[in-house]
Amino acid sequence: MKQAPLSGFSSVCVHAGHEQDPLYAHLTPIYASSTFVYDSAEQGMRRFSGQEEGYIYTRWDSPNFREAEEKIAALEGFGLTDESGRPLALKAILHASGMGALTTLFLAHLKSGDKVISHYSLYGGSEELFTKILPPLGIEAVIVDMQNIDQTAAAIKADPSIKMMYLETPANPTLKCVDLEALIALARQHNLVTAVDNTFATPYLQQPFAYGADYVFHSTTKFLNGHGTAIGGVLVGKNLEMMKGQVDKVHRLLGNNSNPFDAFLLTQGIKTLEVRMERHCHNAMEVAGFLDGHPAVARVNYLGLADHPDFSIASRQMKHPGAMLSFELKDGMKAGMRFIDRLQMCLRAVSLGTCDTLICHPASMTHYSIPKEVREKYEITDGLIRVSVGIESVTDILNDLEQALQ
């Protein structure tokens, strides 16, 4: 069957990466098989030497991984071209989790003595990689305020062992943003490899490759899967030689692979990415507007509100302000726990990006073990509530918040 040209984002979500099944199943079946067979020794030789396309072993590759990978690569590169005006070619490698994909990224690029420059307010797991796992390997993170471009430039100039710039925007859980265009341009002047955690935005809202990023990383557990059915991660790169070489080597040898069932679920989830994100963002704007005027609420952090300090960066580099928001209750810890306990439809859970609205109270949950003075430096105050706004009918979300706030 001839693959029709796909002009719209949702058509790419639905069709990219799909290959006709030899038995004419509509969806690619789940290849629950650890290994693949050969017709002859000759064929085995051709497969191993790369002369013949074909699957060998599921730690390396599987038809289910490939479908999800090609979809994600097509979406991150949607509408983008390379220096010579051709469609931007990208390769994605699926991983067991977001953390697995990050491990591959860092270990494929950094060696003892190298440093990575990054900013405050990163996903907790990424920060722990920087503080607990990489330093004993001789790899250090230099953390600066990357909203200050001059300070970032000075830090890079002062330390030639900085080899990579790692960005997360919007960041978890404060929704702070950094300027992709300015920072990636700066990194390129100094020949740093650049990588962006695009988990909160998804390729529908933001495309870091448009600014020249080398890598985009996702926890596919969140909006890409969209239904909370599987843990996963993906690393997308534009240096194809590196992706097929060192990056794939590290991914295979660390056993960072996904599995066919989770990859199947991810593929189905991505098909509705655009419709879900439109609804997520619409609902989030309504929720932010409602909370903004509520007497029990001291402050609302949503990138769609003009008083958010990063409103202008977000409106420049994101299509919509996203589905994540946080707000601060006037009465601190007690009010936070009481609010969480009173919820009736919205769910009390960490994680994000599912069809269901998920609400958490960082001070009593994710950040409970972190001393108050420390977490307050990261703006995690006692009354802070984080919301991943779902795709339910928005009236029901507003009604639940209203009764829980009373």
User: In angstroms, rounded to a whole number, what is the distance separating the alpha carbons of residues 344 and 294?
Assistant: 19
Residue 326 Cβ, how far from ligand PLP at the closest point, in Å? 14
For residue 386, the surrounding DSSP H or E stretch is: strand 384-388
Q: Which is closer to ligand PLP, CB of 203 or CB of 329? A: 203
Instruction: Give me the least distance between CB of 99 and ligand PLP, in Å please.
Output: 4
In the bound state with ligand PLP, the residue whose beta carbon lies nearer, of 318 and 404, is 318
CB of 247 to ligand PLP, least distance (A): 18
Nearer to ligand PLP (CB atom), residue 389 or residue 405: 389
SS3 per-residue string spanning 126-181 = HHHHHHHHCHHHCCEEEEECCCCHHHHHHHHHHCCCEEEEEEECCCCCCCCCCCHH
The amino acid occupying position 324 is M
Q: How far apart are CA 72 and CA 203, in angstroms?
A: 8
CA-CA distance, 103 to 129, in Å (whole number)? 8
Task: Choose between 122 and 247: whose C-beta lies nearer to ligand PLP.
Answer: 122
359/346 Cα distance (integer angstroms): 7
Other CB atoms within 10 A of residue 221 CB: 24
Residue nearest to ligand PLP (CB): 98
Sheet strands (E) in 220-287: 233-237
In whole angstroms, the minimum distance from the beta carbon of 218 to ligand PLP comes to: 8
Compute the distance between CA of residue 110 and CA of residue 188 in angstroms, rounded to an integer.
Answer: 17
For residue 182, the minimal CB distance to ligand PLP (Å) is 21
Count the helix, strand and coil residues of the chain and give each as a percent rounded to the nearest 5: 40, 15, 45
Between 304 and 353, CB nearer to ligand PLP: 353
**Closest to ligand PLP by CB, 43 or 174:** 174
Helix axes 260-270, 63-76, angle to 10 degrees: 30
| C-alpha Rg value of the chain to the nearest Å | 22
CA distance 165 to 25: 44
Q: Least distance in Å: CB of 123 to ligand PLP?
A: 4
Question: By C-beta, is 96 or 117 nearer to ligand PLP?
Answer: 96
Phi-psi region of 121 (alpha: psi -120 to 50; beta: other; left: phi over 0): left
Which among 92, 390, 392 is positioned nearest to 266, based on CA atoms?
A: 92
Work out whether the CA dihedral 276, 279, 285, 287 comes out positive or negative: negative
CB of 94 to ligand PLP, least distance (A): 12
- One-letter amino acid of 176: K
Tell me the closest approach of the beta carbon of residue 187 to ligand PLP, in angstroms: 20
Smallest distance from the beta carbon of 122 to ligand PLP, in angstroms? 8
Closer by beta carbon to ligand PLP, 168 or else 400: 168
Peptide bond into 321 cis (omega under 30): no
Helix (H) or strand (E) holding 108: helix 98-109
Nearest distance from C-beta of residue 100 to ligand PLP, angstroms: 7
Q: Which is nearer to ligand PLP, 179 or 197 (CB)?
A: 197
Q: Which is nearer to ligand PLP, 283 or 388 (CB)?
A: 388
Closer of 75 and 329 to ligand PLP (Cβ): 75
Task: Give the residues lining the site for ligand PLP (CB under 6 A).
Answer: 97-99, 123, 125-126, 168, 172, 197, 199-200, 219, 221-222, 231, 233
Query: 3-state DSSP call for residue 137?
Result: helix
C-alpha 226/C-alpha 187 separation (Å) is 32
Least Å distance between CB 101 and ligand PLP?
A: 8
